[in-house]
Structure 1
């Protein structure tokens, strides 16, 4: 019931692979009717341990449109593969930019503002993303920032406004998710955003060199993690980060509260983000050639 009838190969010309993840590969393709690029996520249904996650992802993307969320176009069943056609962002994931370049506080403010607008929208529609991290933030060459990968999304109903299943990626998980049987709600996304800010400052999330199990233990034991490069960070950004990484959920800020924080006024429209994307690609290309 979710897919479009017809043959996608008559409509889309595939160009190149642009990414891969646990659920499948992502390729860039051209829509022959418009000449525009699209991203097609191809998933082998036989190799999906939790098919319901795919259904969740399509349903969320299909029904929710906001400028900082990747637009869903359509999906097809091709033999035993599900093809999900989405808007294509030519800057790739934020991960390469945070690992290979240094972001200014104005750029961090701009990225946070756009992610928070998406989170505010999702939370108002009773949806928790549950997997906020740099890999799931896509960039455009003109300063666009959009959330993607809604496979772990949870719909929260008034009857069940808290969840207690452990999902997501360990290093970005909030303490209340890690702690066994503790219930959690929307603010897990805010904690994960805080960890993503640490990625933008330190180049990686805390405990990345530890095994996932050890990382979960450290998150539960230590609470708020520490920045490595703390001396180079403004007081305003530290305060903003503290509001995201507040262990007490009741004191942790909401998306709307953070959108009013003065730190976000540093946002300069992300006019310089293109330079970081190009620089990161250059570094990665050199590494690839040397290996």
Structure 2
């Protein structure tokens, strides 16, 4: 623990002022068995550098910038998202770089009963059908793997996906697999194929969790799940393809106006309202998990860490998410509910405003300490923001989660009335793409 504390750069004065916050910040990495860092199933790019990539200032795009192509209406683009193209063919976004510390984590306290949506059925006795005792003998890795495979076979389709889809271009790469665009040979539409090597998944049950949630979460603001297959130790998950890439590209490469931010927040809130009404908490809202379409589609993705609440279990305690976007109650290991997603949305709004979340230049442990001790982060140049935007941020970032508004309540906030038409995001997407490609060309040279 001393090595972690020394590396975190938490000062002596900070340790003395708020020792409880220091303790909570260190807990998630203290025990590798129970508090280890988890590599997400698929990340945009593997990288070991410590600082955000440097480069030219983010381009400022005026909200009145003329769009280069005639765009369909939002209704048309939502109903026919696969028809979107540039110059006749959909263009995959370039693969950007992201620091390792922006990856999600999943930590399990020793005494926690928290679990994902999928739960292995407990054995029952033969007399009255009541739940029997939990086996004390731990299962071997091979037994656990066979259980996961058996459960996966119940939720995936039978057949060879290579006869239905032709892989094209890689658009994402992680330690456990890759993401490709693929052509649906029957419809001619582009889809996204996430390939996951099962043996490289640190928590294989979370994969089942992700599929089950996506199967029952059909919504205009959620990336549509299409199909899944098991292929020689790999899981193929077929999803709709959004050619605009992740919101992270726009956040880091351009300057977003309040109208752009309001539009994104409104669409994400609509997805969160839908999920929360189903008692599902996403638990990892951040720009990396928001995908964009070229006609303005805005959709939440990555449901591997979501949690299903029930009448018997209305709160959670597990530290899940990404440190910089975590709500204070998560860091403090207090019970929490759906409102953690609204805190993360507020942090993501700051990310859209400033180009990165608060404390991004800090070590993750120190960032957790600052979240635990400071509560609501300071917003740069707050006096330059509109009163409605300031109030929206304040509502999202209420430290007392019992007083934080719900997604339904925030959808009524006046800040969202300034939202620009969704097709206006296309200019930002294209500007971000050009900026990334230009940096890649410079690196090659």
TM range (shorter): over 0.9
Measured in 1, the distance between the counterparts of 2:406 and 2:173 equals 32
Measured in 2, the distance between the counterparts of 1:234 and 1:79 equals 55
* 1:104 pairs with 2:257: yes
Partner of 2:323: 170
Measured in 2, the distance between the counterparts of 1:23 and 1:266 equals 41
2:415 pairs with 263, 269, 282, which one? Answer: 263
CA contact under 8 A between 1:187 and 1:249: conserved in structure 2?
yes
Measured in 2, the distance between the counterparts of 1:23 and 1:245 equals 34
Measured in 2, the distance between the counterparts of 1:22 and 1:185 equals 31
1:280 pairs with 423, 432, 445, which one? Answer: 432
Partner of 2:292: 139
2:216 pairs with 58, 63, 68, which one? Answer: 63
- 1:143-222 aligned at under 5 Å gives the runs 143-180=296-333, 182-222=334-374
Partner of 1:86: 239
Partner of 1:33: 186
Measured in 2, the distance between the counterparts of 1:127 and 1:23 equals 26
* 1:289 pairs with 2:441: yes
CA contact under 8 A between 2:221 and 2:270: conserved in structure 1?
yes
For normalisation by structure 1, the TM-score amounts to 0.98
CA contact under 8 A between 1:202 and 1:229: conserved in structure 2?
no
Q: CA deviation at 1:22?
A: 6.1
* 1:238 pairs with 2:390: yes
* 1:24 pairs with 2:177: yes
CA distances 1:209-262 after superposition (whole Å, capped 9, x unpaired): 111111111100100001123233111100000000000112211100000011
The gaps in structure 1 that reach 5 residues or longer are none
Measured in 2, the distance between the counterparts of 1:242 and 1:17 equals 40
- 1:44-63 aligned at under 5 Å gives the runs 44-63=197-216
**In the superposition, relative to structure 1, how do residues 217 and 22 fare at CA in structure 2: closer, same or farther (>3 Å)?**
farther
* 1:250 pairs with 2:371: no
CA contact under 8 A between 1:37 and 1:88: conserved in structure 2?
yes
CA distances 1:74-128 after superposition (whole Å, capped 9, x unpaired): 0011101100000000100000000000111111111101000000000000100
Q: CA deviation at 1:24?
A: 3.1
CA contact under 8 A between 2:164 and 2:185: conserved in structure 1?
yes
* 1:125 pairs with 2:278: yes
Higher strand share: 1
Instruction: Work out the number of aligned pairs and report it.
Output: 290
Q: CA deviation at 1:25?
A: 1.8
Secondary structure of the equivalent of 1:271?
helix
* Larger gyration radius, structure 1 or structure 2: 2
CA contact under 8 A between 1:201 and 1:229: conserved in structure 2?
no
**In the superposition, relative to structure 1, how do residues 21 and 243 fare at CA in structure 2: closer, same or farther (>3 Å)?**
farther
CA distances 1:125-154 after superposition (whole Å, capped 9, x unpaired): 010000000000000000100000000000
Measured in 2, the distance between the counterparts of 1:27 and 1:18 equals 5
Partner of 2:229: 76
RMSD over aligned Cα, in angstroms? 1.0
**In the superposition, relative to structure 1, how do residues 133 and 22 fare at CA in structure 2: closer, same or farther (>3 Å)?**
farther
Secondary structure of the equivalent of 1:272?
helix
Secondary structure of the equivalent of 1:119?
helix
CA contact under 8 A between 2:175 and 2:200: conserved in structure 1?
no
For normalisation by structure 2, the TM-score amounts to 0.64
Measured in 1, the distance between the counterparts of 2:216 and 2:339 equals 22
Measured in 2, the distance between the counterparts of 1:127 and 1:22 equals 28
CA contact under 8 A between 2:282 and 2:303: conserved in structure 1?
yes
Partner of 1:226: 378
Measured in 1, the distance between the counterparts of 2:177 and 2:370 equals 30
Higher relative contact order (CA 8 A, sep 6+): 2
